[in-house]
Amino acid sequence: MNALDLSVNHPVGDFVREVLFPNCPDLAWAANGLIAAVALVLFPVFLSAPFLIWMERKVCAHMQARLGPMRHGPHGAFQTIADVMKLLFKEIALPGKIDRLPYLLAPAIPLTASFLSLAVIPWDHDLQVADPEQGILYLLAVGALGILGILVGAWASNSKFALLGAMRAGAQMLSYEVSLGILMLLVALLSGESSLREIVLSQQGTALDWWIFKAPVVGFLAFVLYLVSSTAELNRGPFDLVEAEQELTAGYQTEYSGMGFAMFYLAEYVNMVIQAALVSTFFLGGFLPLQIGIAPVDGILAAAPGIVWMVAKILLVVFVYMWFRWSFPRPRIDQLLALEWKTLVPANLVLFALGVLLVSQGWIL
């Protein structure tokens, strides 16, 4: 099992080895590894979410020919910080007829699932908390926890709006898990690997070696279908029927305030980063640099660390998610489920069959 190289030198590691545990190298190595692993999981959460909220407001504003937040900081950059501080210190109002224990625990479940998923994302060659051999199966298993948190929170809220939103969320997310699972298996079939790091390494070379291009037609169609399915899995517009404000106020989050609401909200943006990272990993070469086949240019592009390329690709995919949200109207719930079962699932099964044909005939570029 390949994982994060926890023995490398860095300021925190030096402090742990030289000050805290100078006479116990094994304990120092374990503590160093734990600190590095926790940092690698928490940094994407607490750094990306405020930035993405600000980015979404700006993308929405410019697509609607307006400016968005402008008063706090340059171009409103501190507006998100002000919102976070408000949520941190806001009083938590508990409705009178809730089931108290599951109501309080529910917001932590989707966030925990997000942390577990972040642990297997390869950010660079040696920057990954864990690299299980069956990484795709791990992601499918962990992803189901997020649905559980939504259902538990809505049921414990004792609200018809929350319950209706949760029923929609359960039907929508479980349905689109099928398409995501088929597409992940397709990538595993094409690459011959189910480890996320090995899937990235199977795309080494120029940009034409990324799976979006390397598998003729099949790769590009799988990329598009994955974007659509993951948008629905994230409950983002135009597939945000689980919290359709005109119908369900805030859906399953209706009875939550303060930190409970903030945890659900944070999980939504962290999951968007995770799905964007998976799109990059499966189809866009992950942490590998863009190479165009011109030696001088390729040398300059390869000089940037892998994590820089990974973050750049994630931001590109996140922009596409935001573009979807502010460009298409919201369908009805029956239309959304019909899209999955009558269109996407058959299309994905056909793609999988074509992928089998490509691999068996050696037609991979």
Instruction: Give residue 201's pLDDT band: very low, low, confident or very high (50, 70, 90).
Output: very high
CA distance 335 to 354: 27
Average the pLDDT over each of 25-29, 128-132, 158-162, 293-297 and give the range with the smallest value: 25-29
Tell whether the model's pLDDT for residue 148 goes beyond 80: yes
Tell whether the model's pLDDT for residue 5 goes beyond 50: no
Instruction: Give residue 28's pLDDT band: very low, low, confident or very high (50, 70, 90).
Output: low
User: Between the ranges 21-25, 89-93, 117-121, 282-286, where is the mean pLDDT highest?
Assistant: 282-286
DSSP structure string for 183-221: HHHHHHHHHT--SHHHHHHTT-SSGGGSHHHHSTTHHHH
pLDDT of residue 221: 96
User: Quick one: average pLDDT of 89-109?
Assistant: 85
Tell whether the model's pLDDT for residue 343 goes beyond 60: yes
Sign, CA dihedral 286-141-229-154, equals negative
User: Quick one: average pLDDT of 281-294?
Assistant: 93
Tell whether the model's pLDDT for residue 245 goes beyond 70: no
Tell whether the model's pLDDT for residue 76 goes beyond 60: yes
**Cβ neighbours around 217 below 10 Å, total:** 10
User: Quick one: average pLDDT of 191-213?
Assistant: 92
Which of these, 312, 227, 235, 207, lies nearest to 278 by C-alpha position?
Answer: 227
348 in Cβ contact with 303 (< 8 Å)? no
Contacts of 353 (CB under 8 A, 6+ apart): none
Rg of the chain (C-alpha set): 22
